Structure 1
Amino acid sequence: MTDFTLSPETQALARRVRQFVIDKIVPFERDPRLTQHGPSDSLRDELVALARAEGLLTPQAPVDLGGMGFDHATQAAVFEAAGWSTLGPVAMNCAAPDEGNMYILGRIARPDQIAQFLAPMVLGHRRSVFAMTEPGGAGSDPSQLSTTAVFNGNDYEINGLKWLITGANGAKTWIIMANVPENPHGAHGPTLFLCEGDTPGIQIERVMDSMDRNYVEGHAVVRFAGLRLGPTQVLGEVGSALRYAQMRLAPARLTHCMRWLGAAARCQDIAIAHARTRTAFGKALIEHQGVNFMIADNEIAMHQARLAIRHVAWLLDNDVRCRHESSIVKASISEDLFKVADRCVQILGGIGVTSETVVEMIFRDMRGFRLYDGPTEVHKYAIAVQIMRQGSAFADPVGW
């Protein structure tokens, strides 16, 4: 039997997180260090210090590394609470891409790599990047990877161009995906490498202008030019990068949904408050059917999102791979929550497209949610392929 009931301890924790975000983090939403390219490292460090002082740092990481060690079901409640502000997950060290990178490092990194690259991340002392996406197509379809890592028997020479590399500017832990060509010295194929951000051969060409600004230091164009890494800097096994990327993506898709549900709830709260006090044609906006239907649609969407998130979290906690289910959840929730934010803008009217409320910022930031970790259309294609192979899950009346 699937039971989504939160324990009293988890309920109390989620409420404590939400209050922490309201009291300590929301005031920073107008800080000038929240730039067009996202929070600066200076702002991030200050926010992380606040979460550290509250004992709310890195809820997803193992306790033995300094995290809080929560399972996916508990993360669902905590991340939703943190998402009330887009700066909440930044403060609590559970924002993308660091959260997903910690997940994959914790599963495939060697003990020495964990000590050097992961442990300081869990403690909030460094950020990371996952350098996969390329202008030529490698992103949603990583098989188009063109960055190469030529192995001469002693070391790998990495050359290639990446873009949309989130948080590259200032990040210290770098996970790089590159293709190892066939060679007489060993294995080949798409491979992950791990190195320090100041390694010679990593060139940050520019930070891209984008409509979102919720990721620390934005999204960069990065060139690898003669980057030399030794065999000990391979992360996992040579040729296994695509499998590792999929291992990272299933839980990362879900945590995105958790965080954005919290942001959507914030928009709904602001829209309701506005609709209760603003009048038009002799009565409050909320009394007009055109407005209260939008509020009802939002509540329906968020209710369904929360149930879907908690179901997939339950599957992950029961060691189900749930690649198919995470695609379903990510595709549906990214579309539905964006509609929630859009309706909130509409309810607010002209003020909704200004910075007088945070809704405008959340609306812009949330647009990217329909693209990263796989555009909706890619997920729908993968879902359809699974159905063609195995049939619909709903052919079985028992289901889960």
Structure 2
Amino acid sequence: MSERQFGFTTRQLHSGQVPDPTTGSRAVPIYQTTSYQFDNTEHAANLFALKEFGNIYTRIMNPTTDVLEQRIADLEGGVGALAASSGHGAQLMAILTLCQAGDHIVSSSRLYGGTYNQFSNTFPALGIKVTFVDPSKPEEFEAAIQENTKIIYGETLGNPDITVFPYEEVSAIAQAHNIPLMIDNTFATPYLCRPFEWGANIITHSTTKFIGGHGTTIGGVIVDGGNFDWTSGRFPNFTEPDGSYHGLRFADLGEPAFILKARVLALRDLGACQAPFNSWATLQGLETLSLRMERHVSNAQKVAEFLSEHNHVAWVSYPGLTSHKDYEKAQKYLPKGPGAILGFGIKGGREAGEEFINSLKLLSHVANVGDA
């Protein structure tokens, strides 16, 4: 029976792993090793040539990390995944797998600040230009497309004003122009939204947040939907022989072509791998993802409703409120709830806002979300 026939809560516990064949360990072991013994010279050569899959070096792959990758890929409905040392590292590798100097990205302007900085400073310094558009006007995505556009990018729940990405409109535009749609699904997680079902081709996460869930482990992941045709004409770096990898044409690898290229080139050269212990720690959080997200959403809805009626609150932004401009989109794309992040304004301006933050006792003022 295929694992994907089981429900989400079963798969978040079991996908990608069977009891260890040597020891019988039911829990996922921590393979704290740098390297792996090859059977013989032919075995080593086949691994490096991608003629067979297996472990070579922990910068590229690791059995503990492999369980995490398989599990998240299964939960998202993808064909493969690649764990990274951080969400930012995952995003960097995903983009550099597709783009090089002279290329272009069309991105939603509703972004995490670190992503906005990466897009507006780091990538232009590498010769990759980014055009930002208003996601509430999907036609702007199409208007911004250029001959060298390689990615259309957005976040399921836009940061910081908590907007909902217009999946159907933008995915139709991306498909019409043979451009992959890349989505950061961090705030939603695969429990609340599965972007591949709405036309996305590549998903990234900061697993540091809700997937890890405990505030102890930095990490990220890329997931490949296996649903983009890399021979469509925009990606000669997939269809032409790669001189850095034995002349391999990555498009010949089929559905997992993107994620394999990300692993054996971007991860190989950038080295932003996830440590085995961090993969294990993230797996501990992933096992309770559905339960935590249900409670997160329930709590966020109650807080949003409370704040919307409070005399000292000027406004509240949460897609679970009927007053939010994206309420209907949230009901469609996130039927289990629109996440646990909300924004609100204190009457009295900046001074009142600072006083509120400095007076907090139970809530923590930190640069992270998703801790439980």
Normalising by structure 1, we get a TM-score of 0.26
Normalising by structure 2, we get a TM-score of 0.28
Higher-helix-fraction structure: 1
